[in-house]
Amino acid sequence: MKPPLLALASLLLPSPAATLRLNVTANQAWIEHTPLAYTNQFSPLYHNAPGPRRNATTVLPVLAEGGVATLSSSNRSLLVIGANAETQGLKQYATHKNYRLIYVLASVPYRLVARRASGIRPGHLGDLRNKTIATFKGSSAEVFVRTLLADVAGLKDDDYTLVSGNMCMREPCAENSLPERLKRGEVDAFGCWETAPELAIQGMGEGAVAVFQNGTVYREVFSLYATAEALRDKKQRAEVVRYLKAVGETLEVFKKEPERAWKFVGGLLKLPEAVLRNVWADHIWGPGSLGKDLVDYLEKEDEYLARVDKRPRMSRKELEKFVDASAYEESLKL
């Protein structure tokens, strides 16, 4: 039993929850992060909502540069939610077993764009044998290129040359970036997230390129992450659940009112609407499944990452623990 005076004092002192800050971290150059920016600016859960929905224990979330790696700064007064593709999520989880994948913002089947002038025909991925392919090494883009070529065309790592490339996401593109190097024939193909592939297709013309994509073999699973400690803490968990609710409402706008989303995303990233329109269908917004098929998918990717990162594979049990759908499920009941 607490002495009555102490109990009274704890009522009068500001509780940690009163100063709890939600810090959402993401790379803010990418389309995938834009629902987070939209949520910050427009979510009725943080703005103008009457009644209990406005019953905020935090102020508006801070949206900062970063990703899953910033979860290490999460503490009782700073709640961090990081956003990244599954690749960085798995790489971080390998050494931080308290990180949890709690939500899928978007599934994005990346595209590989090849020069037909290099002898690569549409529908013939095998034509990439002996070719030079650029990607963003060490990222989900490399996982995509390697997996697509292996699983669809049966090409091994040394059947082609993989080089690093700077990816241009917005015109004008620098001479040493993709797609400029593809246009000049310095590389025969490149694979990455949008909008670099779309800029190549528009810049070179559809007739000059062969485009490859297979969402079953590889899709980016752009996700939100939080720590197990935050999910266990009652107040922090409530904030996480509320935030997922707000993000879910944003994704409904992104799915059902694309014109509104293009206007917002175009303004934020300074991208022309014509580019956004063409890449929108490659962004499947929303959590989809956080169940067995996601764990299967992560298990396969982890097998690849363990090999390149020279570490042991994670067990099925560990990967099942990594995916924690419980906060998302609670957010559906709010």
Ligand X SMILES: *[C@@H]1O[C@H](CO)[C@@H](O)[C@H](O)[C@H]1NC(C)=O
Q: Position 327: which residue type?
A: A
Chain residues 151-210 in contact with ligand X, contact rule CB under 6 A: 151-152
Q: Specify the residue, 151 or 330, whose C-beta has the smaller distance to ligand X.
A: 151
Contact pattern for ligand X over residues 114 through 153, marking x by CB under 6 A = ---------------xx--------------------xx-
Least Å distance, CB 217 to ligand X, is 5
Q: Specify the residue, 103 or 218, whose C-beta has the smaller distance to ligand X.
A: 218
Query: Does 66 contact ligand X by CB under 6 A?
Result: yes
Q: Specify the residue, 212 or 222, whose C-beta has the smaller distance to ligand X.
A: 212
Least Å distance, CB 160 to ligand X, is 9
Chain residues 201-230 in contact with ligand X, contact rule CB under 6 A: 214, 216-217
* Secondary structure string (H, E, C) spanning the chain: CCCHHHHHHHHHCCCHHHHCEEEEEECCCCHHHHHHHHHHHHCCCCCCCCHHHHCCCCCCCEEEECCHHHHHHCCCCEEEEEEECHHHHHHHHCCCCCEEEEEEEEEECCEEEEEHHHCCCCCCHHHHCCCEEEECCCCHHHHHHHHHHHHHHCCCHHHCEEEECEECCCCCCCCCEECHHHHCCCCCEEEECCCHHHHHHHHHCHHHEEEECCCCCCCEEEEEEEEHHHHHCHHHHHHHHHHHHHHHHHHHHHHHCHHHHHHHHHHHHCCCHHHHHHHHCCCEECCCCCCHHHHHHHHHHHHHHHHHHCCCCCCHHHHHHHECCHHHHHHCCC
d(CA 143, CA 89): 13
Least Å distance, CB 33 to ligand X, is 14
Q: Specify the residue, 218 or 328, whose C-beta has the smaller distance to ligand X.
A: 218
Q: Specify the residue, 114 or 173, whose C-beta has the smaller distance to ligand X.
A: 114
Q: Specify the residue, 36 or 275, whose C-beta has the smaller distance to ligand X.
A: 36
Q: Specify the residue, 71 or 275, whose C-beta has the smaller distance to ligand X.
A: 71
> How many residues lie near ligand X (CB under 6 A)?
18
d(CA 184, CA 267): 30
Chain residues 16-55 in contact with ligand X, contact rule CB under 6 A: 21, 23, 25
The span of 39-47, 66-74, 95-103, 177-185 binding ligand X (CB under 6 A) equals 66-74
Binding test (CB under 6 A) with ligand X, winner from 17, 62, 306, 325:
62
Contact pattern for ligand X over residues 71 through 110, marking x by CB under 6 A = --x-x-xx--------------------------------
Least Å distance, CB 25 to ligand X, is 5
Residues that bind ligand X (CB under 6 A): 21, 23, 25, 62, 64, 66, 70, 73, 75, 77-78, 129-130, 151-152, 214, 216-217
